[in-house]
Amino acid sequence: MNKLIIFDTTLRDGEQSPGASMTKDEKVRIAKMLERMRVDVIEAGFPIASPGDFEAVRAVARAVKDSVVCGLARAADADIDRAGEALKDAAACRVHTFIATSPIHMKMKLRLEPDQVLERAVEAVRRARRWTDDVEFSAEDAGRSELDFLCRITEAVIEAGARTINIPDTVGYNVPDQFAHTIRSLIERVPNADKAVFSVHCHNDLGLAVANSLAAVLAGARQVECTINGLGERAGNASLEEVVMTVRTRRDVFHLETGIDTTQIVPASRLVANITGFPVQPNKAIVGANAFAHESGIHQDGVLKHRKTYEIMRAEDVGWTTNRMVLGKHSGRNAFRTRLEELGVSFASEEELNAAFARFKELADKKHEIYDEDLQALVTDANLTANERIKLRYLRVCSETGETPRAQVTLAVDGEERSATADGGGPVDASFKAIESILRTDTDLLLYSVNNITSGTDAQGEVTVRVAKGGRIFNGQGADTDIVIASAKAYVNALNKVLQPTERAHPQLL
């Protein structure tokens, strides 16, 4: 009982952040990274949501060997069977089924009486047990549910075979003391509580997801559901790196161990930011660029005399030093392939490898030192553009003091080349206007941000663009050593998504 199980839901709840959807290959890359980090359970997706989600969960189930792979299912036969089917090739799998238990959800959303909800929950757990012994049950919106009913349903689903009972604060409404009280009461009051692991799943609407999760751990929860960088629906989920590093740094308080290899935390954070296009804020705990930077003279002086004066963790323990130069202009194809394989990227064919290697050589001509992050960006960029309807063929921008910037753009739209020229307030503005004048998508630009992937003026710029149309939000990303080109790539990537929205069910809206 001194082990804390880390259940990562970056690929499922994380993917529910508007604009953060990932392709099958991207999910496999992240899953391989989570496996390397020794995450106990990887929730790979919601298989019934769409055929693409099903395939992605199946691909993760086949690729991962050392972590349990989990699939989400509402408390309905079709959902559960779809999840079981997607997971059946996994070395170890878990079916995670859920139904809402709060008065407002039961009455307004499900239109069911509490007894009917309890019955469905029990049936769902029994059905899931046909696929695996490892069944998790979640009482959605448990944070606003009545304790007596939570106790009743928990006892019934454990009796039906659930081995993990997850208590989500779905809307991020709880505060630490109250949430800890719920967990403690359940463990004390449910007669068969000793037959299950209690888990928590907290959302961050009030910025309390990590605090609530940790308070629950102190009250007896032994699994925390979390995501890399705190990605997730709305304000996100509890951040994996914060939970893991708190438990490790404050062993004196928690007396628990996680199995996590913490040196993989920063690489995992970068990979997720890079793939989803959700950059990490510089002052984010553990993984923000400034998390270990001491700016004030007094702090610097203290750290130089004795690092523990101002540092409670070592940067290298969370993987800040794993950012090493791996390849350069003279590296060969084998070294390139080997390093990417270590990063969880494999190539389906020799042609794919050759194409990626050619892009690497192009990059190495512009930039002497190629880091892991550059390689990740290169692969992400290639994945992004592979199946796009619209491709950026050509961009020329004139920017001169005293003159209006002008951009000339050629796009391939379904294979047909179309060009336009536009003026703008700056080179990026002119490029975006030229692209929009070809595509006429009528979207609103909500966010434009540039980050350097590594340091130095020859670093690649990584651009994120967020656009909205008809109430839906789409993110685009692009990377290049030229930030105007990176910007145009990111914009085209976002507009590709606008023009090809994928229809998928959302677990909590149905």
User: Which spans of this chain sit near ligand KIV (rule: CB under 6 A)?
Assistant: 13, 98, 138, 140, 166, 168, 170, 201, 203, 507
Q: Which is nearer to ligand KIV, 165 or 484 (CB)?
A: 165
Q: Which is nearer to Zn ion, 13 or 241 (CB)?
A: 13
CB 43 within 8 Å of CB 12: yes
Sheet architecture: strand order including 472-480:
444-452, 461-469, 472-480
Return the one option of Zn ion, ligand KIV, none that residue 373 interacts with (CB less than 5 to 8 A, by type). none
Only segment of 5-13, 298-306, 362-370, 472-480 that touches Zn ion (CB under 5 A): 5-13
Minimum separation from the CB atom of position 76 to ligand KIV (A): 13
Minimum separation from the CB atom of position 201 to ligand KIV (A): 5
Minimum separation from the CB atom of position 474 to Zn ion (A): 22
Minimum separation from the CB atom of position 169 to Zn ion (A): 9
* Binding test (CB under 5 A) with Zn ion, winner from 4, 6, 12, 13: 13
Minimum separation from the CB atom of position 482 to Zn ion (A): 39
Minimum separation from the CB atom of position 34 to ligand KIV (A): 18
Cβ atoms within 10 Å of 116's Cβ, excluding its own: 13
Minimum separation from the CB atom of position 508 to Zn ion (A): 7
Burial of 438 (0-12, 13-18, 19+ CB in 10 A): middle
φ, ψ for residue 355 (rounded to 5)? -65, -45
Q: Which is nearer to ligand KIV, 19 or 45 (CB)?
A: 45
Return the one option of Zn ion, ligand KIV, none that residue 140 interacts with (CB less than 5 to 8 A, by type). ligand KIV
What residues does 138 pair with on adjacent strands?
Answer: 98, 166
Structure tokens at 117: 């909800």
Q: Which is nearer to ligand KIV, 201 or 489 (CB)?
A: 201
Only segment of 10-18, 28-36, 206-214, 354-362 that touches Zn ion (CB under 5 A): 10-18
Q: Which is nearer to ligand KIV, 17 or 170 (CB)?
A: 170
| Dihedral sign for Cα atoms in the order 467, 473, 474, 475 | positive
d(CA 239, CA 305): 32
Only segment of 11-19, 41-49, 248-256, 302-310 that touches Zn ion (CB under 5 A): 11-19
Q: Which is nearer to ligand KIV, 204 or 380 (CB)?
A: 204
Minimum separation from the CB atom of position 237 to ligand KIV (A): 8
- Contact residues for 249 (Cβ-Cβ < 8 A; gap 6+): 312, 313
Return the one option of Zn ion, ligand KIV, none that residue 507 interacts with (CB less than 5 to 8 A, by type). ligand KIV
d(CA 198, CA 187): 8
The DSSP result for 1-38, as a single string, is --B-EEEE-TTTTGGGSTT----HHHHHHHHHHHHHTT
Minimum separation from the CB atom of position 41 to ligand KIV (A): 13
Q: Which is nearer to Zn ion, 13 or 436 (CB)?
A: 13
d(CA 228, CA 35): 13
Return the one option of ligand KIV, Zn ion, none that residue 138 interacts with (CB less than 5 to 8 A, by type). ligand KIV
CB 219 within 8 Å of CB 27: no
* Of 239, 246, 237, the residue nearest 288 (C-alpha): 239
Q: Which is nearer to ligand KIV, 172 or 476 (CB)?
A: 172
CB 166 within 8 Å of CB 136: yes
- Applying CB under 5 A, the site for Zn ion has a residue count of 1
Q: Which is nearer to Zn ion, 236 or 279 (CB)?
A: 236
Structure tokens at 134: 């490892």
First to last CA, the chain: 36
15 binds Zn ion (CB under 5 A): no
CB 443 within 8 Å of CB 468: yes
Binding footprint of Zn ion on the chain (CB under 5 A): 13
